[in-house]
Chain A
Amino acid sequence: MNAFLAVLWKDLLQEWRSRDRLVAMLVFSALVIVVFHFALPGGAGAQTRSFAPGLLWVAYVFAALLGLGHAFAIELENDALAGLALAPAERGWIFLGKWAANVAILGLAQAVTAVVFGVVFEVDLLPVAGRFALVAVLGNIGLCAIGTLAAAVAVRTRFRELLLPLLVLPLLWPVLSGAVRATADLVATGRMGFEPIQLLIVADAAYLIVSFVSFEYVLDE
């Protein structure tokens, strides 16, 4: 438990001092939104609005992949990764610390991106802000559970930037489809069904538990 708080605090402090991960994620997701604007004929019409939830989550996933890759790359400096592995603590808690820091940083990026996205594509998220935040956090939990584990694996391979999305994306599908569906329901009707939330909770719990348990085999000296 102490390891969890220590790793979380270290990662957040590091991010607060440099802010490079958050800035990179924000600029990147803004660029993705600009690309969507040019890719979709007609700009912000009613048709685009029906794609909006999917597009928003694509921007989130891309930004997350960028940030997650960095989460363990920073540990390579001064061989801090070996230090983490040698720390006299349950490795699952180290994983949870890393994971929680990722969730926090990605959550912040998501909030800012949602505002920009809402303005540019004329999607009014304000009336459903609370419920949308719940969906975003639930999606975030699963995304970061797979992502943190995969980043810890990828950082110890050749071509780690190449491998991370290939490892994450095929596993992400249950989380992503639940999050997109829930967001689409919210944007269209202001309400959301129980099924997508149920799917998100089940997928989050399953991925989080397996990642927690198997992180022991991923970290090595």
Chain B
Amino acid sequence: MIRATGAILATIAALWAFAVAGAPADAMQGAIQKILYVHVPAAVGAYLGFLTTALCGALYLRSGAERWDRLAISAAEIGVVFCSLNIATGPIWARGTWGHWWAWDPRLTLTLLLWFIYLAYLLLRGFTEGSERTARFAAVYALLGALAIPLNYFAIRLFGGAAMHPDNLQRGSLGPGMGWPFALGLLAATAAFAHLLALRFDLESRRVEEARALAQERRE
């Protein structure tokens, strides 16, 4: 599984790097526009992570099967990494084109709030003792966090600042020659998410088994 996802990721990433290198520079923004091929895919990875976390949390509460919790923590950590990448690349691009490092733009605010929710999720896991209790608390918080996404979206639509981000990309809104690297970037982010999830899930499973074996040893 891990080998297969790794091979897929390596292939797509190589194609993506090649396509980005060959993509034309933007007529207005120049080379800095190429950050698009990292910035948007990172957002896709982040949302994939957070949706998976909430879904696995719900499945855990329903079934009580521990593997769902292992998947949830794996997805949350990867989601936070992607979200950090998205939030870090944004200001670099913004400074070059909007002239500010930061703007309280609706989509930016939404992503930032999401980032804080899942940081809190990870802290909650870190501060709770007992694996079963941790899993339960984390699942409940992930569900509340998933609920906060549409609510935040609704709130921002009502009173957010002026929109700086374009509306969702429509066909033809990118310049000629930019579609391929962009699409490959989205694919690469999805492949990277899948591969990291498989790796992290494996690691978590080993950790749990190791901890169990240690506890057993101590009892004996």
Decide whether A and B assemble into one complex: yes
- Write the residues of chain A forming the contact surface with B, with a CB cutoff of 8 angstroms: 146, 149, 153, 156-159, 162-163, 166-167, 169-171, 173-174, 177-178, 181, 195-196, 199, 202-203, 206-207, 210-211, 214, 217-218, 220
Return the chain A residue nearest B138 by Cβ.
A153
CB-based contact B129/A207 at 8 Å? no
Answer yes or no: B61 CB below 8 A from chain A CBs: yes
Cβ 8 A contact of B133, one of A174, A199, A220? A220
Question: What per-residue 1/0 map shows which CB atoms of B151-162 lie under 8 Å from chain A?
Answer: 110110011000
Answer yes or no: B181 CB below 8 A from chain A CBs: no
Question: What per-residue 1/0 map shows which CB atoms of B119-135 lie under 8 Å from chain A?
Answer: 11001100111000100
Chain A nearest CB: distance from B73 CB in Å?
16
What is the CA–CA distance of A156 and B127 in the complex, to the nearest angstrom?
A: 9
Chain B nearest CB: distance from A41 CB in Å?
23
B residues within 8 A CB of A203?
Answer: 151, 155
Answer yes or no: B136 CB below 8 A from chain A CBs: yes
What is the CA–CA distance of A220 and B128 in the complex, to the nearest angstrom?
A: 13
Answer yes or no: B46 CB below 8 A from chain A CBs: no
Chain B binding surface, main DSSP class? helix
CB-based contact B123/A199 at 8 Å? no
Chain A nearest CB: distance from B47 CB in Å?
16
CB-based contact B61/A171 at 8 Å? no
Chain B nearest CB: distance from A121 CB in Å?
22
CB-based contact B116/A202 at 8 Å? no
Inter-chain CB contacts under 8 Å: number: 89
Answer yes or no: B180 CB below 8 A from chain A CBs: no
Cβ 8 A contact of B158, one of A166, A199, A206, A220? A199
Answer yes or no: B139 CB below 8 A from chain A CBs: yes
B side interface size, CB within 8 A:
28
- Write the residues of chain B forming the contact surface with A, with a CB cutoff of 8 angstroms: 61, 113, 116-117, 119-120, 123-124, 127-129, 133, 136-137, 139-141, 143-145, 147-148, 151-152, 154-155, 158-159
Chain B nearest CB: distance from A198 CB in Å?
9
CB-based contact A181/B159 at 8 Å? yes
Cβ 8 A contact of A217, one of B61, B145, B152? B61
CB-based contact B123/A163 at 8 Å? yes
B residues within 8 A CB of A207?
Answer: 144, 147
Chain B nearest CB: distance from A51 CB in Å?
16
CB-based contact B116/A217 at 8 Å? no
Cβ 8 A contact of A178, one of B113, B127, B155? B155
Chain B nearest CB: distance from A171 CB in Å?
5
CB-based contact A170/B113 at 8 Å? yes
Chain B nearest CB: distance from A138 CB in Å?
14
What is the CA–CA distance of A167 and B143 in the complex, to the nearest angstrom?
A: 13
Q: Name the residue among A170, A173, A174 with the largest chain B CB count within 10 angstroms.
A: A170
Return the chain B residue nearest A210 by Cβ.
B147
